[in-house]
Amino acid sequence: MNTWNEGYFTDSTYTYGYYRELSPNFMRWCLLVNGIAAPEITEDSCHCELGYGQGISANIHAAATAGKYFGTDFNPAHAAQANELAEASGADANFFEDSFEEFSERDDLPQFDSIGFHGIWTWVSAENRRHMLEVARRHLKSGGMVYNSYNCLPGWAPNAPLRELLSICDRYKVYGGGG
């Protein structure tokens, strides 16, 4: 990799959104209503989110879902925010600021019943996508669930010019107003 944050903006933080699709309970429900076997969610379950942003969804799910919650995000500010929320809520959560490569190589992680990544697949390099798949290969339980959302055309076409403008601003470190 050229830089530790290849393909991922770290000079600004992500939004404070909530994404129900990352919920292990929602993943399970989607599988069950489609006639697909899904793992039971118990106190022994372990869940993971890759690229958790501010940690809003991850912390809501950690507080509302049986089991333990883990995740990593490249942005140190995101990790600090997510861990602060986890501490305040008392959620059983462990949020790291590892790269996906570092996270995939950790030997201290459990086998996960669910792994979710929302939108991040769209933004990172092909190399980081391979590391995300390696997390699933090494750390997903047999029969576990994976959720991956991907921003694609035509749904995101109207936002492409703004995304390109923001990418240029990030590349040249142009931020804020001021003359």
Per-residue pLDDT tens for 40-91?
A: 999 999 999 999 989 999 999 999 999 999 999 988 999 999 999 999 999 9
Q: Identify the pLDDT of residue 156.
A: 72
Q: Identify the pLDDT of residue 117.
A: 95
Can you count the helices (H) and strands (E) in the chain? 7, 5
Q: Is residue 136, in this structure, part of any structural domain at all?
A: yes
**48 vs 154, higher pLDDT:** 48
**Gyration radius of the chain's alpha carbons:** 17
Q: Is residue 10, in this structure, part of any structural domain at all?
A: no
60 dihedral zone (left: phi>0; alpha: psi -120 to 50; beta): alpha
Per-residue pLDDT, averaged over 106-111, amounts to 97
- Contacting residues for 127 by C-beta, under 8 A, at least 6 apart: 1, 6
**CATH code of the domain covering residue 155:** 3.40.50.150
DSSP state of 157: G
Q: Is residue 51, in this structure, part of any structural domain at all?
A: yes
Q: Is residue 162, in this structure, part of any structural domain at all?
A: yes
Q: Tell me what the pLDDT averaged over the chain comes to.
A: 89
Q: Is residue 155, in this structure, part of any structural domain at all?
A: yes
Q: Is residue 11, in this structure, part of any structural domain at all?
A: no
Q: Is 22 in contact with 47 (CB distance < 8 Å)? A: no
Look up the domain containing 123 and give its range. 46-171
Instruction: State in Å, rounded, how far the first CA of the chain is from the last one.
Output: 35
Q: Is residue 100, in this structure, part of any structural domain at all?
A: yes
Q: Is residue 72, in this structure, part of any structural domain at all?
A: yes
The whole model's pTM is what?
A: 0.82
Q: Is 65 in contact with 23 (CB distance < 8 Å)? A: yes
E strand or H helix at 146: strand 140-149
- Contacting residues for 91 by C-beta, under 8 A, at least 6 apart: 59, 62, 63, 69, 85
Q: Identify the pLDDT of residue 92.
A: 93
Name the domain count of the chain: 1
